[in-house]
Structure 1
Amino acid sequence: MGRLNGKVALITGAAGGQGAVEAELFAREGAKVVVADINEEGVAAVVDRIDQFGGEALGIVLNVTDDEAWAAAMEQIRASFGGLDIQVNNAGILSLEGIAKIERAEWDRVINVNQTSVMLGLKHGAALMREGGTGGSIINLSSTYAHVGSGAAVAYQASKAAVFIMTKTAAVEFAPDGIRVNSVAPGIIETPMTREVLAAAGPSHPDITRTPLQRAGQPHEVANAVLFLASDEASYITGAELLVDGGRTIT
């Protein structure tokens, strides 16, 4: 407990699933958490849960694909907490269509939410951290599908591969300001986004059969990795990607 005491942390896509788990964990570790998502009802529910156990949280309805919405969110964070120390670019969506079947509108939707939003988050988050003059930590959520082919999910895989390399170039760009930028690449994790796919295939799902640990991961297992990179324990780590995949990418 207390690994993030005195820190202000923004988490996108935090109304449910992986992001909500991260938000509650960060609050339990002492951070003032900005719960950001386009889902207003979900944001309010997460803020309420954090309030109930004595944490401190601010809810912001944020369309992560909108440059002006990002700017407004930063103004709200500045007014409420005075600055920003940690940012987790967690928001993302899944699309399983391959190249032959994907429509241009679907491609654009996935790239906007999974890739463009991370660029905007890096741009605006680093600017606010720079104002504080004490550095910061940004964690982007990539995926093992940034590293392996699947024969499907072309927009999702392309977007996550972009997150992987954006993390590295941002780490170099922001290093003079003391801002660390890393990514976490989950394998198959049991969240609302994947639950239907996992339920249909069961233990025969290829992402499970190809995983040495032979199971799906749980959101808290990813959240703990994100927490480590956000904390001062990772003070000499930047430009890295931490795989949380049960060994999927080594097979």
Structure 2
Amino acid sequence: MGQLDGKVAVVTGGANGIGRACCERFAEEGADIVIADLLDEAAIGTVEAVEKRGRRATYMHTDASSPTDIGTVMQHAIDTFGAIDVLVTAAGISTADYVSGRPSNTAAVERDPITRFVDSPLAEWQRVLDVNLTGTLLAVQAAARWMVAQGRRGSIITIASIAAKHPEAGSAAYSVSKAGVWMLTKQAALVLGPAGIRVNAIGPGFIETNMTAVLRGMPELEQRLLGSVPLGRMGSAREVANAALFLASDQSSYFTGEMLHPDGGFYTD
């Protein structure tokens, strides 16, 4: 216990799923949390969960794809807690119409893959990249800007996906956005390493969140996907948060530019 005592963590997409699990896990280890999300009611629940663990938390209504919103939330973290030590970029969408905190739409999964690819509107592609990739860039830039200015070492953790390396694990827009997150992570690690800022990614496999609820509602598809997972089950958001805790703490002090895969063995072949 106490691996993050005295630290301040900003978590985009912290209202539910992997983001919320990171907030709770970090609080258990002594961190104060700034939650950035669009889901006001769910975020209040995360604040309460953090406070029950004896730490302080605050919430900012934030569009991850907005430079203004991201800049505001980072300044809020500094004004409220005096620092940014850890950033987790958990804000993300699977499709353009996905609303965080709600189950995914089965229609997108059930469509013929060829039709889904060739008829996908540009606006849908752009929205997924805006949130997943550009949103990650904005958060990394804003947090690192403050860390560099203050000469403060920190840990930045991006949330990618097994889809970053395996196209069948997501739609074209989602896979490309997560592949971009992975390359962005390596670029940021290379550039920011001399400033003492570590940048690593997590590439979760099939995790029980609202984003994958559609799969659990389609037993045949779920079993086919789990057939590629040696452990034979989906992971939990807390299992991903445990990986994030490792990267946030001094336990990973010589890690940068890496991607950890809590994926049940998906990449064993």
With normalisation by structure 1, the TM-score equals: 0.95
Which residue does 2:183 correspond to in 1? 165
1:141 pairs with 156, 159, 170, which one?
159
Q: Is the 8 A contact 1:99 1:152 kept in 2?
A: no
Which residue does 1:15 correspond to in 2? 15
Shift of 1:72: 1.2
User: Which 5+ residue runs of structure 2 have no aligned equivalent?
Assistant: 96-107
Q: Within 2, Cα distance between the matches of 1:58 and 1:102?
A: 38
Equivalences for 1:197-216 in 2 at 5 Å?
197-201=215-219, 204-216=222-234
Compare 1-10 and 94-103 and name the one that shifted more.
94-103
Q: Within 1, Cα distance between the matches of 2:230 and 2:191?
A: 36
Which residue does 1:111 correspond to in 2? 129
Shift of 1:149: 2.3
Which residue does 2:255 correspond to in 1? 237
User: Which 5+ residue runs of structure 1 have no aligned equivalent?
Assistant: none
Which residue does 1:187 correspond to in 2? 205
Given the superposition, is the C-alpha separation of residues 128 and 202 from structure 1 closer, same or farther in structure 2, using an over 3 Å criterion? farther
Q: Within 2, Cα distance between the matches of 1:53 and 1:244?
A: 25
Shift of 1:52: 2.6
Given the superposition, is the C-alpha separation of residues 183 and 72 from structure 1 closer, same or farther in structure 2, using an over 3 Å criterion? same
> What is the CA RMSD across the aligned residues, in angstroms?
1.5
The residue identity in structure 2 corresponding to 1:85 is D
CA deviations on 1:195-244 (whole Å, 9 max, x unpaired) are 12222126743321111111111111111001000001101100001011
SS of equivalent to 2:202: strand
Which residue does 1:121 correspond to in 2? 139
Q: Is the 8 A contact 1:40 1:61 kept in 2?
A: yes
Q: Is the 8 A contact 1:135 1:179 kept in 2?
A: yes
Identity value in percent: 39
SS of equivalent to 1:35: strand
Shift of 1:129: 1.6
Q: Is the 8 A contact 1:134 1:178 kept in 2?
A: yes
The residue identity in structure 1 corresponding to 2:30 is G
The aligned length equals 251
The residue identity in structure 2 corresponding to 1:84 is I
Q: Is the 8 A contact 2:27 2:53 kept in 1?
A: no
4+ aligned runs moved over 6 Å, structure 1: none
Q: Is the 8 A contact 2:67 2:138 kept in 1?
A: yes
Which residue does 1:246 correspond to in 2? 264
1:218 pairs with 236, 245, 250, which one?
236
